[in-house]
Amino acid sequence: MTRRDAFAVAFAFLVLGSQCFLRAAPPATQPSRDLAAPTTQPLKSADFLRFIDNGSAGGRLETADVTFKNADGATVHLVAAVHIAERSYFEALNENFKARDAVLYEMVKPKDAAVPNRDDPQTESHSAVSQFQRMLKDTLNLEFQLDVIDYTRPNFVHADLDAEAFAAKQEARGESMMTLMLQQMMRAMTQPPPENAANQDPEAAMQDQLQDLIKMVCRPDHERQLKLLIAKNMADMEETAMGLDGPGGSAILTDRNDAAMAKLKETLATGKKDVAIFYGAAHMPDLSKRLTAMGFKPLSTDWRLAWDLAIRADQPSAGEQILTDLVKGMDQQ
């Protein structure tokens, strides 16, 4: 097995295993929700990220652009992002952002670091997170956000904590990735199981997930089969991530959302009337609550295709690809 295929299988086990521990059952497909009329209901993770299951034909992973408006005529778009997606997804965002007065974007980077420039390799991020995301995008045959989005446009505004401030916030909270993981474990253990898992045998649920993994490895088009498995869990993973806020909040969500909202108020005060907030989907429910408190109302949602999960039956299986790589490797020796 090649390093790439070994990583793909390991990642699939990681995703499926963690979801089994937290939820004890695979998540149901989220229904579509139309916000054509103003709503008084709080927006949730399903309003910003959804998986559409098309059965044997595959499926779609989509993110939302939810439009809010206030009585003064100012418009704010909460543009949920997945950081690894189809090139067409990021290119469509580039076109959409040209029409905005300002695009407030997330990025925890050193205070004096240059703005990412997709045309300048010297500005490429070498953080562990970025390197992991690049490895993942290669495995899934997708694109990485920093490689396609044009952050050099004049209407792009950094609206996040810098790396130094983020580290200080974490230290002040006594927060680290380990403490956040432990917090999530405790939260999962004290929550009642979802209704669709109440009567399901955990061992049977694990067997179902392992069967899906076997199908991914053995069937044609294993790359998209892997993406399909991950996409089915994505919305649930984002909802889990939102739990990081907890009663006292967190640096990774609460403090960064504070920075985004402070920059939004500053931007609106300059007279800009059409503003986008381009952040990860896990941040969006909290940001929507804050916008509502400022007098904004959600009016409409545009869904964007992030992952095209249509099954291509004419592609080689993982086993065939592994054997092909093995033969090529022998020829090169």
Statement: residue 2 has pLDDT above 80: no
Return the minimum-mean-pLDDT range out of 21-35, 192-206, 299-313.
21-35
Return the minimum-mean-pLDDT range out of 19-23, 114-118, 167-171, 223-227.
19-23
Pick the residue with more confidence: 278 or 166? 278
Cα 272–Cα 38–Cα 76 angle in degrees, nearest 5: 20
Statement: residue 150 has pLDDT above 50: yes
SS3 157: strand
Tell me how far apart the alpha carbons of residues 59 and 227 are, in angstroms, rounded to a whole number.
10
| Contacts of residue 165, Cβ cutoff 8 Å, sequence gap at least 6 | 111
The arithmetic mean of pLDDT across residues 131-138, rounded, is 72
In the block, which residue shows the tokens 């991914």?
216
Domain boundaries, the chain: 3-332
140: Cα separation from own chain's centroid? 14
Statement: residue 248 has pLDDT above 50: yes
pLDDT of residue 223: 72
70-127 residue pLDDT tens = 999 999 999 999 999 999 999 999 999 999 999 999 999 888 888 877 776 655 665 6
Query: Any alpha helices (H) in the chain, and if so which ranges?
Result: 3-23, 87-97, 128-140, 145-148, 163-173, 177-190, 202-218, 222-242, 256-269, 284-293, 318-332
Pick the residue with more confidence: 154 or 178? 154
Dihedral, CA of residue 77, residue 78, residue 79 and residue 80, to nearest 10: -170
Statement: residue 33 has pLDDT above 50: no
- DSSP letters of 65-90? EEEEE-TTS-EEEEEEE-SEE-HHHH
SS3 114: coil
Residue 255 neighbours by CB distance under 10 Å: 21
Rg value, the chain, Cα? 21
pLDDT band with cut points at 50, 70 and 90 for residue 26: very low
Pick the residue with more confidence: 215 or 265? 265
Residue type, 130: S
pLDDT > 70: what percent of the chain? 64
- DSSP letters of 170-233? HHHHT--HHHHHHHHHHHHHHSPPPGGGTT--HHHHHHHHHHHHHHHHHSB-HHHHHHHHHHHH
Tell me how far apart the alpha carbons of residues 143 and 104 are, in angstroms, rounded to a whole number.
21
Tell me how far apart the alpha carbons of residues 233 and 250 are, in angstroms, rounded to a whole number.
23
171-196 residue pLDDT tens = 888 876 666 556 555 555 555 555 55
Statement: residue 153 has pLDDT above 80: yes
Per the prediction, the chain carries an average pLDDT of: 76
Contact status, residue 160 vs residue 106, Cβ threshold 8 Å: yes
Return the minimum-mean-pLDDT range out of 178-182, 242-246, 284-288.
242-246
